[in-house]
Structure 1
Amino acid sequence: MNTKVPTAHRFDSSDPDTISAFLTGAYGTELIMRSTERYRLRHHRIDAGAFWLETVEQTTRLDIDVGPIEALMIGQVVSGRVDRSCAGVNDRLGPGDVFLAAAPGLPFSMHWRPGKLVGCVLDRSVLTKVTGGTADDRAGATRFTGLTPISPGLARLWRHTTSYLNHVVLGNPSAHRQPLVLANAARMLAAAALAVFPNTTAGWPTAMERRDATTATLRRATAFIEEHADRDIGAADIAAAAQVSLRALQLAFRRHLDTTPMAHLRRVRLDRAHHDLLLADPRQETVSAIASRWGFLSHSRFTARYHAIYGIPPSRTLHA
């Protein structure tokens, strides 16, 4: 997965040609903007490689035509109004609304009244890591069958997820140096997108997948997790190593361990963090640094989970 140290990019201009050139470069596709008035546009992006989180503000009525973008673009209206059209689907969106700008690979257009949007641009390779398959498997690739959330509750889930990542991950410079933290953040966004918007990944296990959910599958999967817990792996990688489908893997963990592959991976990483805390010098290490090393996004959640398993806070283990 393409993760990197997050970098901030800011743009602020009132020149239409400069704005159009900047946005075309920023999104890597043809972008045409029309307005009868002069206006100002501000753009702030945090680029973490596999995903971007950004804020865009502008001061007039804009008509925007955007060429095909392969990444998944998810927006939220903070203020103003947006009329978005893609493949014959038209939506009128107001403050608080969450939406897909377009199905990946399709062009779209927007009529945007003065206001502010926050957005997420997610590399489709992250979806592949979560759902399984390969980047070249067009037939089996996830297709989004709707451009608005399945329910208001799931729209809230998306808002909470992006707010959490902005504050806990991107707002924590020490986490920027930990590849597992950023990889887990990208997976969290992908999982949220798949939960929030209607798509083709849902389905019941087949008869073959139920037959594959054996203890032998579980042994292969847990051995792979033990060996690769320090790397950027997800359920799709574990399924490939176990030589079964993603649904068969999930069924095997549910049937034999009453858990999920990712929950088991988090438990293994918690055990590795516990081991590091036992061996660490408290004058040189911190609980937060060790938690981040093992991919835990939130220090408070790590502490609560550690206390629930080991009966003491991680700080006591470190200073024992």
Structure 2
Amino acid sequence: MTLQSGPVYDDCTTCDPETVRRSLEAAFGASVRMEVLLLTAGRFAVSRIDAGPFALTEIRLPGRLSLSVEPSGLLVVSTVHGGRGDLRSGNRHERLRRGDVCLDGRPGEVRDLGAEDLRVSSVVLPLDLVGRAADDASPHRRGPVRFTELVPGGTHMAALRQRTADFARCAVLTAGGVSRLVTAETARLLAATVLVAFPNDLDTSPLAADSVDAGPETLRRAKAFIEGNAQHDITLAHVAAAAYVTPRAVQYAFRRHMDTTPLDYARRVRLDHAHRELRDAVPGGGATVTGIAARWGFAHVGRFAAAYRRVYGVPPRTTLRA
């Protein structure tokens, strides 16, 4: 996946198994071996939206197929919409049916999939993005996160994962890749949701020093960095580096002294910037609520409008027209 100013769309619809195999390799960044066991009526289809820091795919595989996918630098999280799948990764084995959510194998392991009239949608994330989310969540991490299961830890976690994927698709299609803040924030949300939804070995217990470091001076430095860089794609790790403490200490400082989180504070700062831009827009100059919201990292204009009204007492369109 690459950084670009807008999403890149790629669609492949074919009756040729070799063509779809190559499309699967491109979509998942890995070598794919595929054997057709039973070819039925219908066409193979691979649709992909590359949003830069993550990608979204939809795949249709008619008939009965056997696939083997080599390890790659990507993590694939899928939802089954039709057909059946038999997935093996290391010592894990899952039989998948419509509505199931799964990891397409654990990082570093070959994945074997038996597919029968399978239709799935997937979110594809770089492993280093998941690693950065793990760094933010755990002060103890010393190596790659190890996922202990291929399926979420309960139906509520599967639903959370699916809602996040739906939001990501909405963000890409609504914002059109205009704002890198939108795609970057969405990518981090997807990575964090994977860590929450799928059982893993991440240790999130705090370090004793983090509580000591969570003082007013840490808060001051962190706020100054966020306020001075709100227009950029900043992460919790960036804020922590600027405050000379760990990410967990920054989180403690905001919770202790402001009863909020660094992410919520960054959103409030960006909301204030959006308010100023709406207020200062020249009538008839072409500015729109959607465009300004996306520029400041708000992918969903409805949620932006609701947050804006809670803070400023009027809809954003009222400020824009004033």
From 305, 309, 312, the counterpart of 1:310: 312
2:289 counterpart residue number: 287
User: In 2, are the aligned partners of 1:100 and 1:148 still within 8 Å (CA)?
Assistant: yes
* 1:130 aligns with one of 130, 133, 136: 133
Q: Residue 242 of structure 1 corresponds to which residue in structure 2?
A: 243
Give the number of aligned pairs: 315
* Deviation by residue 1:42-64 (Cα, 9 ceiling, x = unmatched): 10011112111111001111111
Identity of aligned residues (%): 39
Alpha-carbon contact 1:3-1:183 (below 8 Å) kept:
no
Alignment pair present for 1:211 and 2:212: yes
Is residue 110 of structure 1 aligned with residue 113 of structure 2?
yes
1:157-172 → structure 2 map (5 Å cutoff): 157-166=160-169, 168-172=170-174
* Structure 2 residue aligned with 1:77: 80
CA deviation digits over 1:290-320, x for unaligned, max 9?
A: 1111000111111111110111111111122
Distance 2:144 2:238 in 1: 16
The match for 2:278 is: 277
Distance 2:209 2:304 in 1: 37
Distance 1:254 1:127 in 2: 24
Structure 2 length normalisation: TM-score? 0.92
Which residue identity lines up with residue 216 of structure 1 in the other structure?
Answer: E
Q: What is aligned with 1:220? A: 221
- The Cα of 1:36 is off from its aligned counterpart by 2.6
Which whole-Å CA distance do the structure 1 matches of 2:132 and 2:273 have between them? 23
Q: Tell me how far 1:125 sits from its aligned partner.
A: 2.9
Indicate the SS of the match to 1:74.
strand
Contact 1:229–1:265 (Cα < 8 Å) also in 2: yes
Amino acid at match of 1:42: A
| Separation in structure 2 between the aligned mates of residue 129 and residue 271 of structure 1, nearest angstrom | 28
**Counterpart of 2:58?**
55
Cα distance between partner residues in 1 of 2:67 and 2:185: 33
Offset at residue 155 of structure 1 (A): 0.3
SS in 1 for 2:87: strand
Amino acid at match of 1:234: T
Deviations 1:255-307 (Å, cap 9, x if unpaired)?
Answer: 11100110000000011111111111131211111111100011111111111
CA contact (8 A) 1:69 1:107 kept: no
Separation in structure 1 between the aligned mates of residue 188 and residue 25 of structure 2, nearest angstrom: 27
1:102-121 deviations in Å (ceiling 9; x for gaps): 12222110111112111111
Give the equivalent residue in structure 1 for 2:97: 94
The amino acid of 1:33's aligned partner reads M
Say whether the 8 Å CA contact 2:135–2:141 is kept in structure 1.
no
CA distance in 2, matches of 1:249, 1:169: 28
SS in 2 for 1:132: helix
Name the amino acid aligned to 2:81. Answer: V
Q: 1:300 aligns with which of 285, 299, 302?
A: 302
**2:272 & 2:65 partners in 1: Cα distance?**
53
Partners in 1 of 2:108 and 2:318 — Cα distance? Answer: 51
Please list the CA deviations of residues 150-182 of structure 1 after superposition, one character each: whole Å capped at 9, or x if unmatched. 11001011111112222x32222x542111111
- CA gap of 1:56–1:88, structure 2 versus 1, over 3 A, is same
In structure 2, relative to structure 1, the CA distance for the partners of 1:253 and 1:246 (3 Å cut) is same
1:204 shift after superposition: 2.1
Partner SS, residue 148 of structure 1: coil
8 Å CA contact 2:106, 2:150 repeated in 1? yes
Aligned partner letter, 1:201 = L
Q: Evaluate the alpha carbon distance shift between residue 317 and residue 149 of structure 1 in structure 2; reply closer, same or farther with a 3 A threshold.
A: same
Can you give the 5+ residue segments of structure 2 that lack an aligned partner in the other structure? none
Give the whole-Å Cα distance in 1 for the aligned partners of 2:177 and 2:145. 29
After TM superposition, the score normalised by the length of structure 1 is 0.93
- Separation in structure 2 between the aligned mates of residue 195 and residue 249 of structure 1, nearest angstrom: 20
Question: Considering only aligned residues, what root-mean-square deviation do their CA atoms show, in Å?
Answer: 1.9
CA distance 1:88–1:23, shift in 2 (3 Å): same
Aligned counterpart for 1:67 among listed residues 67, 70, 82: 70
Q: Distance in 2 between matches of 1:25 and 1:171?
A: 21
Conserved in 1, the CA contact under 8 Å of 2:27 and 2:57? no
Matched AA of 1:184: E
Q: Is the 8 A contact 1:129 1:237 kept in 2?
A: no
The Cα shift of 1:221 comes to 0.7
Letter in 2 for 1:147: L
CA contact (8 A) 1:6 1:48 kept: yes
Q: Distance in 2 between matches of 1:254 and 1:200?
A: 26
Q: What's the counterpart of residue 252 of structure 2?
A: 251
Unaligned runs of 5+ residues in structure 1 are none
